[in-house]
Amino acid sequence: MIDKIRGIIKSLFNKWGYEIVRFNAPVSHFHSNRYLRLNSRRLEHLASLRIPVKGMSVLEIGAGIGDHSHYYIDRGCKITITEARSQNLKYLRSRYPDCNIQFLNLEQPTHIEGSPFDVVHCYGVLHHLSNPEQALEFISRNTGRMLFLETQVSFGESEEINIVSEPKSDPTQAYSGIGCRPTRPWVYNRLKRLFKYVYLPITQPNHEEFPIDWNSPDKHKGNSQSAIFIASREKIENELLTQSLIKKQLRHE
Q: Taking the model in full, what pTM does it have?
A: 0.87
Least confident of 84-88, 137-141, 190-194, 241-245: 84-88
**For the chain, what is the domain count?**
1
pLDDT above 70 as % of the chain: 85
Instruction: Identify the CATH number of the domain in which residue 99 sits.
Output: 3.40.50.150
Tell me, yes or no, whether 218 lies in a domain.
Answer: yes
Q: What is the mean pLDDT of residues 150-157?
A: 97
Indicate the pLDDT class of residue 73, thresholds 50, 70 and 90.
very high
In which domain, by residue range, is 83 found? Answer: 24-251
Nearest CA-CA partner of 117 in 98, 140, 137: 140
Looking at the domain assignment, is residue 227 inside a domain? yes
One-letter amino acid at 197 equals Y
26 phi, psi to nearest 5 deg: -60, -25
Is there a domain that residue 12 lies in? no
Cα separation of 247 and 122, whole Å? 23
Q: Which residues is 152 bridged to in the sheet?
A: 226
Rounded average pLDDT over 168-179 = 71
- pLDDT by residue (tens digit) across 199-235? 999 999 999 999 999 999 998 988 899 999 999 999 9
Residues with Cβ within 8 Å of residue 203, at least 6 apart in sequence = 45, 48, 240, 249, 250, 251, 252
Closest CA to 220 of 158, 124, 123, 155: 155
Within-domain flag for 16: no
- Give the model's pLDDT for residue 34: 83
CA dist., res. 85 & res. 238, Å (int): 36
Q: Is residue 69, in this structure, part of any structural domain at all? A: yes
| Average pLDDT score over residue span 127-153 | 97
Q: Is residue 73 part of a domain?
A: yes
Say if residues 106 and 45 touch (Cβ distance below 8 Å): no
Compute the mean pLDDT over every residue in the chain, rounded to the nearest whole number: 89
Q: How far is residue 35 from each of residues 38, 102, 138, measured CA to CA in Å?
A: 5, 23, 27
Whether the pLDDT of residue 19 is over 70: the answer is: no
**Could you tell me the sign of the dihedral formed by the alpha carbons of 166, 168, 171, 175, in that order?**
positive
Q: 79-88, 107-116, 134-143, 165-174: which range is least confident on average? A: 165-174
pLDDT tops 80 at residue 167: no
pLDDT of 25 reads 65
Tell me if 185 is assigned to some domain.
yes
Backbone angle region of 44, left / alpha / beta, with phi > 0 → left and psi within -120 to 50 → alpha: alpha
Q: How confident is the model at residue 20 (pLDDT cuts 50, 70, 90)?
A: very low
In a domain, 17, yes or no: no
